[in-house]
Every structure is written in C-alpha cells, then in structure tokens.
Amino acid sequence: MNCHKLQESLLSSASGFKNYRGILNWCVVMLVLSNARLFLENLLRYGILVDPIQVVSLFLKDPYSWPAACLVIVFFFVQGTFSEKLGLLIHIINLTVILCFPMLTVLMVPSVTPVGGAFALGSYTILFLKLYSYKDVNRWCRERLQVKARGLSRSLSCPSPPSADGAVHVSYPGNLAFKNLYYFVSAPTLCYELNFPRSQSVRMGFLLRRLFEMLLLTQLLVGLTQQWMVPIIQSSMKPLQDMDYSRMIERLLRLAVPNHFLWLIFFYWFFHSSMNFVAELLRFGDREFYRDWWNSESVTYFWQNWNIPVHKWCIRHFYKPLLRKGASKLLSQSAVFFASAFFHEYLVSVPLRMFRLWAFMGMMAQLPLAWFVGRFLRGNYGNAAVWLSLIIGQPIAVLMYVHDYYVINHLEEAADPGAL
C-alpha cells in the first residue's frame, strides 16, 4: 500500500489546518512562567508593598472631608432638577453645569484626591451622555407627534424592541416619569429608549459569579498596581529628569507589560463583570457591551468594538446627526475623535490639576494611525499593529503624566522655601 499522498505541511497556509490550540496553551504556559520570574524578582527587590488601607487615601485625603464622595452623592439627585419640558435652553444649561460643576469643585477643593476626582468626573460624564441621549430621544418623539398631527405620518410611537417579560410598554409622553428616567440612569447603557429589552428574571448564580469576579479582580488590580506598577514608575523619574533616553526606553518597556496586563484585567472587570452584574440586577436585556476587539485588524475596528455603549452613543447622537447636516464622513469621524479626546483629557488633567494634553494628543494621533494601518497593513500585521499601539501607547502617556505630576507636586514644592 502507498504510504504517501499529495499534501501540504500543517504550518503551510495552503494546508487549511487551523487547530493551534496546543500552541495557544504553550503561549499561556510561557506567559505564566515569565511573569512568575518577574513576580519573584519584584518580591526579592521591593518586598511586599501591598497595603489595602493605603487605597483609602487615594479617595480621601482628609477622613473628615469627603468632597469627591459628596460630588457622587449629588450626582444621584441632579437628574430630576430640570424637566425636559422646560426647553432646549434649560437642557443646555443643565448639561453645562453637569460638566463644569464637578470640574470647578475638583480644581478648587484641595482635599480632592486625583483618584477621587477622576471617579467623580467619570460619574458626571456618564450622566452628561445619558441626559443628552434622553433629550434627543424625547425630541424625536415630539417631532413624530407633530408630524402625526399634520397628518403626514401613520406612526405615533417611538419604536423599541419588545421585551420577553410581558411588561407594559410606555409611549411618549408617558415615559416622562422619574421611574423611567432613574432606570435609564442606572442601566448599563448610554443610549435612551422608551422601552428597553428586559430579561425574564434575575439569575442568582450568574449574579453571584459576577459579584465574586468584581471583588476578586478589584483586589488583584490594587495589589498588582502597588506591587508591580508603582516601583517601576518611581524608578522612572530620574531617567526622565536626566533625559537619559536609553534608560527611558528601558523603563517604558518594563512598564508596558504590567500596564497592559492591568488594562486587560480592568477591561474584564468593568465591561464584563461589573456591567453584567448591573444588567442582571436590573434585568437589562442587551448585554452587548463589547465585541471581538482583540481580533481587530485595523484601529478603526478596535474603536468600534471595544466599548460598545460609547460607540453606540457616538454613532446615534453625534456621527449620524453630522452626516444628516451635510458633513463628510472624514469630518464626522474626526469630530468624534476630537470629542473623545476632549473627554479623555477632561478625565485625566482635571483630577491631576495640570493640563498637558497628552491624553488629547494620544487620542487625536489615532486618526493618522488608523489611516496608516488601514492603508499599509492587513490581516495579522494589522492586528499586531493594534496590539502594539495598545501595549506601548498607554505607558507612554502614563509616564508623561506621572513625571509632570511629580515635578509639579514634589520638586517644585521642595524648591519653594515657603512650602517648608
């Protein structure tokens, strides 16, 4: 019998072989072993630095003064301050206050810590986006009612997907109630609908698993930050001050791995564990909080799929309205990135009380990067470029902000005789 036949080697693309599960497992084993060595080296060099009590100081500088916590508490009472019926002017004033009030508080109250300020500003930014969507959808419903009154339309209600629980659906203006508004504010979405898809019941097993993940990953994030990130950042200050480029690159590469690892953990903690926990608790049916961004072969695909709530909001309330007003696709895309860059800088510079525009420039740099990757790189090369931008780009911004914050708050204070 013949023991040979016409066939390609398995690793050749023409073979059609796609089962690389063993190689993936090998990568995981190598990753665990390499990071175990780094973990042991870290313990031998710095000792145990994890201190859960110290985490409190990130949010509260003075135990008797909690300005950041007070801002978040006020956040839960702002939603009903102004009624949608009072008009567009009131909405503009309301949305402006939502952005400016916490910013001024963080800048003017010294006891607000950077972490506490970022948390408060993030809460108000989410509220801003939600109320903007709430205003838009109700305006669309009013416009449909006006068209109906003129006899130009057969439809009166704003369409929403049916729910599986048999709940009574509301139509405009029956949705203008605090219960409807507060459900939307609490729900894990930025886009308002009169009737959200709802699950039939709360799955306690699913809810408890997500809660366990949230608690476990929170401790892991705190521990790895204190034990792994902080020592590397502290050791990076001198090369940055001396402008020692070779040492700066070495510190950047050392920081890239833990920073990226923490970013991945945070992604799972926020977009999967936390948002699914809230969704399950509220029986919110749409659980598409992210798509397969890890398979991105272009920068554009990554930004369209890694944060679905924000992407949906940008498309629905910013990108498409610009297109309807006659703006080109390029201009509309640039405007979306500009708005995103503004909010990134808002959430970083204000809590740190310094304006360096690193986050803003980093976001705007995504436009030429997206063009370059889309034009010259395809397939696995494009995917590698996306991963490289995530692994290297973030620690560059981290080092820039930490260096500037250190110079402003430590070196200048030490050099000022009046500060002693």
Active-site pick, 91, 311, 317, 344: 344
Residues 6+ apart with CB under 8 A from 352: 114, 401, 405
| Nearest C-alpha neighbor of 357 from the set 307, 401, 299 | 401
How many angstroms separate the first and last alpha carbons of the chain?
92
Angle formed at CA 284 by CA 281 and CA 287, multiple of 5 degrees: 105
Residues 6+ apart with CB under 8 A from 314: 336, 339, 340
| Nearest C-alpha neighbor of 205 from the set 284, 285, 288, 277 | 277
In this structure, what token pair is assigned to residue 378?
């395809």
Tell me, yes or no, if 272 is annotated catalytic: no
Helices (H), 150-244: 178-186, 204-224, 230-235, 237-242
- Amino acid type, 404: D
- Amino acid type, 168: V
Spatial separation of the C-alpha atoms in residues 189 and 198, rounded to whole Å: 13
Angle formed at CA 197 by CA 193 and CA 200, multiple of 5 degrees: 150
Residues 6+ apart with CB under 8 A from 133: 190, 191, 192, 313, 316, 317
Spatial separation of the C-alpha atoms in residues 367 and 356, rounded to whole Å: 20
Contact 374, 299 (CB under 8 A): yes
**Catalytic residue IDs:** 344
